[in-house]
C-alpha cells in the first residue's frame, strides 16, 4: 500500500468521523439583560449647594443601562416650596419619568395626598398621572375619580368620573 493511499484513507476516516460526530448546533438563546449593579436597602441623595434636593430610596434596586427598577420605592423632592414624596411597591425610573405600580401614595407637606394602584410621575414637567381609580384627600376633603392628571407645579388637577365631599371653612 502506498503512502498516498494511506493518507487518503485516514483523511476519509476523519471526514467520516466529523460527519457522524458533528457538533450539535444549538439555537442561539436570547440574552437576558443583566443589571450593571444591584442594591439592597438603599438611599440615593441628590445634593446641591442649598442642601438635599431629592432622594430616592428602596428595598431592592437594579441599575440597567437606561433605567432603574426598584421595589418598595420612595421618591422625595425637597427642591420646591412644599416637600413632596411619592411611594409604591414597584417603580421604574427612566428618562426622568417614574412609573409606579402597587399602592401608589403621594404626600405633600400641606396635607394633600392621593392614592392609586398605578401612576406616573414626570419629574421634569411636575406631572402626576394615573389611568385607574384614585382618591385625593386634604384635611377633611375627599375626591374620588379616574384618570387623574395632577400638575404639582401649577397645582391644577383634572380627572374623569369625579365625586367627593368638600367642606368649606
Using alpha carbons, list the distances in angstroms from residue 162 to 19, 118, 120: 73, 18, 20
> Is residue 33 scored above 80 in pLDDT?
yes
Domain spans of the chain?
37-165
pLDDT digits (tens, 9 = 90+) for 17-32: 887 877 777 666 667 8
What whole-number distance in Å separates Cα of residue 54 and Cα of residue 45? Answer: 6
74: pLDDT confidence band, cut at 50, 70 and 90? very high
Query: What is the distance, to the nearest Å, from the Cα of residue 38 to the centroid of all Cα atoms in its chain?
Result: 14
- Homologous superfamily of the 37-165 domain (CATH): Lipopolysaccharide (LPS) transport protein A like domain (2.60.450.10)
- Calculate the average pLDDT of the chain: 87
Task: Provide the pLDDT for residue 166.
Answer: 78
Task: Provide the pLDDT for residue 117.
Answer: 94
Considering only residues 43 and 23, tell me which one the structure prediction assigns the higher pLDDT: 43
> Is residue 69 scored above 90 in pLDDT?
yes
> Is residue 169 scored above 90 in pLDDT?
no
Phi, psi (degrees; rounded to nearest 5) at 81: -65, -30
Lowest mean pLDDT among 9-18, 65-74, 116-125, 137-146: 9-18
Phi, psi (degrees; rounded to nearest 5) at 7: -70, -35
Q: What 8-state DSSP symbol labels residue 132? A: S
C-alpha cell at 158: 383634572
Average pLDDT over residues 4-21: 84
Amino acid at each position: 500500500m502506498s503512502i498516498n493511499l494511506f493518507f487518503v484513507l485516514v483523511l476519509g476516516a476523519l471526514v467520516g468521523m466529523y460527519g457522524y460526530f458533528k457538533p450539535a448546533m444549538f439555537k442561539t438563546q436570547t440574552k437576558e439583560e443583566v443589571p450593571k449593579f444591584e442594591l439592597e436597602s438603599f438611599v440615593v441623595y441628590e445634593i446641591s449647594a442649598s442642601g438635599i434636593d431629592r432622594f430616592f430610596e428602596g428595598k431592592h434596586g437594579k441599575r440597567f443601562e437606561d433605567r432603574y427598577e426598584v421595589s418598595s420605592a420612595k421618591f422625595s423632592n425637597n427642591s420646591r416650596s412644599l416637600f413632596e414624596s411619592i411611594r409604591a411597591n414597584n417603580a421604574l425610573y427612566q428618562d426622568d419619568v417614574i412609573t409606579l405600580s402597587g399602592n401608589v401614595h403621594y404626600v405633600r407637606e400641606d396635607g394633600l395626598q392621593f392614592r392609586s394602584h398605578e401612576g406616573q410621575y414626570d419629574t421634569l414637567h411636575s406631572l402626576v398621572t394615573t389611568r385607574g381609580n384614585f382618591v385625593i384627600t386634604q384635611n377633611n376633603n375627599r375626591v374620588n375619580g379616574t384618570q387623574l392628571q395632577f400638575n404639582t407645579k401649577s397645582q391644577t388637577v383634572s380627572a374623569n368620573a369625579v365625586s367627593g365631599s368638600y367642606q368649606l371653612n
